[in-house]
Amino acid sequence: MQEKYGDQVQFLFVEAQGTAPSDTEKFVLQKSWISDHAIWTNEQPFETGARGIPHCVVLGIDGEVLINDNPMSAHGAIEAAIEAQLKLVKKGPKELSAPLAKAWQDFEKGMYATALKSLDAIPEGPDKDAADKLSNTLTLRAKAKLNRLTWLIEAAEFDHADKLAAQLAKGMVGHELEEKVKELSTQLTAKEMAPEREAAKALDKVEKRMAKDGIDGGVLKGLKAVSEKFAQTRAGKRATHLAELLGA
Amino acid sequence: MSFARASGFAAAATLLMAGLAPAQSMAKVGSKMSYTFQQPLQNSQGVKSLADLQGKPVVVEFWGTR
């Protein structure tokens, strides 16, 4: 399902057997279950009432529970719910008036500032409350994108960071969040980031090999090499962590 | 390809075992879920709460390692 939907759907994996977090991480690495679209936790965000695993809860784009069921038996329903939500993402909720739906669609196309400005410009009248509410919702989503960019830079995920920074720089022009985007873009392109980028590239090579072939002697050797050569960088520290975790 | 980080998770496990985790609500169909994670998520992508995931459908998979 992750391959089918890519970054259109967010996957959150919750380890529900009380395994130690470091063991969970090791397990996930060994199984090559890592992907850019998956987040992992050992912390249960809500109760499901289920007696066994695997179990699945599908949340809609506004956090509403759509499905709470076994992922094997409810596979068809899960896919149908996701498809319906993806349509909703494109067009916006049915109850939106035409100008609000247009703002929603502009936001989804990456025209963040245009969308938010058009909502702020809605005059007093029947649409005003809904426009303010939607403006708050979309502003939070824009801020979540900035948080993601901050995380990508800290995690030395430069390929994804470069793409997101370019997208935000284009779409935020004229909005109050533009300054923050510029600040992060400056960080990303700073000369001082060159060693970080070099280290990230070296680690990426090892990670790709790990995803393709699993964890073998070559991967462990590669992690150690990145860890030693780029010890002071973020990617180097991550390589050290992975090498220790996997027993290199 | 993003790889997970584990910093802080031992502390999370200790907190959860000590019963200090916040009370969780039941995921009933039709109800809206909110939750702020107490500890950093692995491969978090900057996400700290369920609210940060809004705007996309979210598949929450409960699974085990044993």
Residues 6+ apart with CB under 8 A from A248: A220, A221, A223, A224, A242
Interchain CB contact of A9 with B (< 8 Å): yes
Which residue among B28, B51, B65 places its CB closest to the CB of A17? B65
The answer to whether B33 contacts A47, with C-beta atoms less than 8 Å apart, is no
Residue pointed to by tokens 């759509």: A66
A52 interfaces chain B, CB cutoff of 8 Å = no
Residue A78 CA from chain centroid, whole number: 20
Strand A10-15 versus strand A38-41 pairing type: parallel
pTM value > 0.90: no
Q: Do B61 and A55 touch (CB under 8 A)?
A: yes
**Are A85 and B57 inside 8 Å of each other by CB?**
yes
pLDDT in tens, chain A (248 residues): 888 898 899 999 999 999 998 898 888 888 777 677 789 999 999 999 998 999 999 999 999 999 999 999 999 999 999 999 999 999 999 999 999 999 999 999 999 999 999 999 999 999 999 999 999 999 999 999 999 999 999 999 999 999 999 999 999 999 999 999 999 999 999 999 999 999 999 999 999 999 888 899 999 999 999 999 999 999 999 999 999 999 86
pLDDT of residue B5: 40
ipTM at complex level: 0.91
Most B CBs within 10 Å: which of A39, A48, A240, A244, as the mutation test of the B interface? A39
Query: Which of left, alpha, beta for A177 (phi over 0: left; psi -120 to 50: alpha)?
Result: alpha
CB contact under 8 A, B63 and A54: yes
Give pLDDT, residue A187: 96
Q: What is the pLDDT of residue A32?
A: 73
**Residue of B9, B31, B38 with shortest CB distance to A65:** B31
List, for residues B10-66, the tens digit of each pLDDT value.
Answer: 333 333 433 344 557 999 999 999 999 999 898 899 999 999 999 999 999 999 987
Q: Do A42 and B9 touch (CB under 8 A)?
A: yes
- The answer to whether B10 contacts A21, with C-beta atoms less than 8 Å apart, is yes
Residue B2 has pLDDT above 80, yes or no: no
The answer to whether B51 and A1 are in contact (CB under 8 A) is: no
Domains (range + CATH), chain A: 2-89 (no CATH), 92-189 (1.25.40), 193-245 (no CATH)
